[in-house]
């Protein structure tokens, strides 16, 4: 439990203190903290997952001062994750109270889930931020580049975890 809380604090800190101040390009805004929602334990009740998503979004909104935007995106993230995971055979892992990861789901399903959710999250955030005056070109480049960087970092996290268990 303590390990998990520490992991959450580290990831949130990494997002707020490092990634949010990363000045790589005006087209890159990676949102890596969603890995916390992506890797939630499989046995967790849907209601709790939604509340956790809402809470995590609230924390991010408080630090970035974007009231409601990350909360809304996190809620959608959790719901879409539920829909995707319902189609994957994860009952045994859920009974073992494991979290969703490459190790439990396998590379392809995990990669597919992560890809869909990360791309959705970035584009949803960009859409909400520019609502009413959306620059399609900027949104597409930023969405794809930020998603790719986030996927890479999440991949590194998963690789580190995988190494820890092997």
Partner 1 sequence: MQRLFAFIEHNFHIILFVILQTICGFLIFSLNPYQQATFSKASLGVTSSINKLSSDVYSYWDLKSQNILLQNQISQQFKESFPQSLHYLNDTFLTSDTSMHRLFDAIPAQVVFNTAYKTNNIFIINKGLNHGIKKNMGVISSQGIAGVVLSSNRKFSAVMSLLNTNMKITPHINGQEYFTEMMWDNSKLNCLTINGINKLERINLGDVVSTGNSSLLFPKGIPVGHISKINNMPKSQYFELELKTATNFRDLEYVFVIINNEYSGLNDLLSND
Binding site for partner 1 (CB under 8 A): 45-47, 49-51, 54, 57, 61, 66-69, 71-72, 75-76, 79, 128-129, 131-133
CB of 54 to partner 1, least distance (A): 5
CB-wise, 24 or 51, nearer to partner 1? 51
Contact 54/62 with Cβ under 8 angstroms?
no
Cβ atoms of 103 and 39 closer than 8 Å: no
CA trace torsion 83, 87, 91, 92 (10° rounding):
-130
Query: What's the token pair of residue 107?
Result: 């590379």
Per DSSP, the three-state class of 41 is strand
Q: How far is the CB of 123 from partner 1 (least distance, A)?
A: 16
Inter-residue contact 42 to 98 (CB < 8 Å): yes
Q: How far is the CB of 104 from partner 1 (least distance, A)?
A: 22
Residue 18 or 51 having the CB closest to partner 1: 51
Q: Name the token pair of 91.
A: 């009952």
Q: Whole-number minimum distance, CB 120 to partner 1, in Å? A: 15
48 vs 107, which CB is nearer to partner 1? 48
């Amino acid at each position: 439990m303590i390990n998990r809380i520490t992991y959450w604090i580290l990831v949130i800190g990494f997002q707020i203190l490092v990634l949010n101040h990363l000045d790589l390009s005006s087209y890159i805004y990676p949102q890596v903290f969603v890995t916390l929602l992506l890797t939630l334990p499989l046995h967790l009740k849907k209601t709790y997952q939604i509340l956790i998503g809402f809470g995590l979004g609230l924390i991010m909104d408080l630090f970035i001062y974007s009231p409601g935007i990350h909360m809304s995106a996190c809620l959608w993230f959790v719901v879409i994750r539920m829909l995707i995971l319902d189609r994957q055979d994860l009952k045994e892992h859920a009974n073992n109270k494991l979290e969703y990861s490459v190790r439990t789901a396998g590379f392809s399903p995990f990669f597919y889930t992560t890809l869909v959710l990360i791309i959705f999250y970035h584009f949803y955030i960009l859409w909400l931020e520019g609502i009413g005056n959306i620059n399609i070109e900027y949104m597409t480049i930023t969405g794809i580049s930020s998603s790719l960087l986030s996927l890479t970092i999440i991949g590194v996290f998963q690789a580190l975890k995988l190494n820890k268990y092997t």
